[in-house]
Amino acid sequence: MRKTLIYCMLTGLFYSALSGESSLPIPPLLEGEEITLTVQQGTLALPFGDSDTLGYNGDYLGPTLRFSEGDSFNVLVDNTLNEDTTVHWHGMHIPAEFDGGPRQVVSAGGTWNPRFTIRQDAATLWYHPHLMGKTAEQVYRGLAGLIYIEDEFSRSLNIPREYGVNDIPLVLQDRRIDRDGRFRFAPAMADIMHGYTGNALLVNGAYKPELEIAGGTVRFRILNGSNSSIYRVRFSDGRKFTVIASDGGFLPETVSTDNLVLTSGERYEILVDLEKNEKVSLLTDIYGSDTHTAMTVDTDRSRPVLYEHPGRLRPFSIPGEETPAETRTFLMQTMGMMGFAINGKSMSMDRIDETIRLDTTEHWIVENRRTGMMAFPHSFHVHDVQFRILSLNGEAPPPLLSGPKDTILLYPGDTYRLALRFRDYEGIYMYHCHFLEHEDSGMMGQFEIIP
């Protein structure tokens, strides 16, 4: 393997002139009633060197778990680490005791077995640790995986659905490769403020991999699995693609675009048409940083199987969204060096910040006010629900933000109005900024759903 590492004295970053030599890893697919996730230590070999990592059932990242609506979810988490962890099922409508937030610690050497019935629409979700103060580090070291939910509607659509063949998961993450060719989690104060941005972009744990595939229509399910980066994803030739789903499922109407912005934790599903025998790269611009070639897609000479891109998909509204039982405001605040808060408060496990009645619909106003020099983007994620964006800065949301969502990006000055419906389960859940360094610094709160 040819390695060309150039150490840049100015930035202290490594750049690699390596072109993609590995093929895109596809995480194993796990289905069925008895799934075990073993949390373990591992090693990830990249062209720069080997890093010490964590993974589920492997060295880095974890399997894709696939369920249908109505299935029972029954996953045994076996923590073989000598540190505590949790496993949070991001985007799932789930009983509070199985949410996997900071309240459900799986101790070092311990096990945990969440079990419930899946009651939500088809979507691409994901799982990752959520241990108080340790989320950023454990995710960074490799703990994350995807969850697919299918339902009657998703099965009725004529879209690519063959896992790893024409339905391809893409977990995008940036990692900071040190002088010694490894990545490790060691943020300085500025990294906590601005996010721990890396100099290498990984897709499914590989650096600039190549995806060799038959031409035709391909469905990509894209997760921004980074700690705190905002990505703009696009193709090197500027080609258009069709967006069919956002965080919590299908869009009411598909959107044709040539680029997509995702903050950490957000997902989109896209359809893209590839000719035979062509080569195109997927690029990722990191907000405030560089543009990376995430991977290259290489099609063979076989005859491409093209699918018609759908137009209208599934309408989305929240019951009672016009007449909220309660309206709450959440101010996302940068308080000065190292400090982050929501409504002036830093996360405390001993405090319930909001109390909500079961079976009600609420409006949540989420604001990232521009205050002096402390203007940072933030994001906002709510556990247990998929919400609808009623407005962004007073206007109807753009089509890409009109479907089911659980995570939103707030640039300085942004205000969202959300409609949320709390159904089925009582108990304590989290809301927080999904920039993991911010979350770990206290930018999180708890809500309790009561009868």
Q: How many helices (H) and strands (E) does the chain have?
A: 4, 34
> Rg of the Cα trace of the chain?
21
269 or 414: whose CB is closer to Cu ion?
414
CA nearest 53: which of 183, 206, 188, 223? 183
The reply on whether position 434 binds Cu ion by CB under 5 A is no
218 or 222: whose CB is closer to ligand C2O?
222
88 or 292: whose CB is closer to ligand C2O?
88
The reply on whether position 432 binds ligand C2O by CB under 6 A is yes
The reply on whether position 90 binds ligand C2O by CB under 6 A is yes
128 or 234: whose CB is closer to ligand C2O?
128
- Rounded CA-CA distance 264/435 in Å is 7
* 195: number of Cβ within 10 Å: 27
* 341: number of Cβ within 10 Å: 20
Question: 343-346 — which CB contacts under 8 Å span 24+ positions?
Answer: 343/445, 345/445, 346/441, 346/442, 346/443
Tell me how far, at minimum, the Cβ of 352 lies from ligand C2O, in Å.
16
The reply on whether position 405 binds ligand C2O by CB under 6 A is no
The stretch among 8-16, 76-84, 187-195, 429-437 that binds ligand C2O (CB under 6 A) is: 429-437
217 or 379: whose CB is closer to ligand C2O?
379
88 binds, among ligand C2O, Cu ion, none (CB under 5 to 8 A by kind): ligand C2O
The reply on whether position 430 binds ligand C2O by CB under 6 A is yes
Structure tokens at 248: 């919590």
Whose structure tokens read 């980074």?
226
140 binds, among ligand C2O, Cu ion, none (CB under 5 to 8 A by kind): none
Tell me how far, at minimum, the Cβ of 368 lies from Cu ion, in Å.
8
438 binds, among Cu ion, ligand C2O, none (CB under 5 to 8 A by kind): Cu ion
- Rounded CA-CA distance 105/346 in Å is 20
383 binds, among Cu ion, ligand C2O, none (CB under 5 to 8 A by kind): ligand C2O
Nearest-10 Cα torsion for 142, 10, 1, 185: -10
Tell me how far, at minimum, the Cβ of 378 lies from Cu ion, in Å.
3
The reply on whether position 98 binds Cu ion by CB under 5 A is no
The reply on whether position 176 binds Cu ion by CB under 5 A is no
Q: Which residues contact 350 (CB under 8 A, 6 or more apart)?
A: none
CA nearest 269: which of 161, 380, 165? 161
Total binding residues toward ligand C2O, as defined by CB under 6 A: 10
The reply on whether position 378 binds ligand C2O by CB under 6 A is no
Whose structure tokens read 């499922």?
249
Q: What is the largest CA-CA distance in the chain?
A: 63
The reply on whether position 265 binds ligand C2O by CB under 6 A is yes
429 or 435: whose CB is closer to Cu ion?
435
Check if the beta carbon of residue 354 is closer than 8 Å to that of residue 411.
Answer: no
The reply on whether position 425 binds Cu ion by CB under 5 A is no
Check if the beta carbon of residue 53 is closer than 8 Å to that of residue 87.
Answer: no
- Site pattern 112..151 for ligand C2O (x: CB under 6 A): ----------------x-x---------------------
Check if the beta carbon of residue 371 is closer than 8 Å to that of residue 344.
Answer: no
Q: Which residues bind Cu ion (CB under 5 A)?
A: 378, 433, 435, 438
Q: Which residues bind ligand C2O (CB under 6 A)?
A: 88, 90, 128, 130, 265, 381, 383, 430, 432, 434
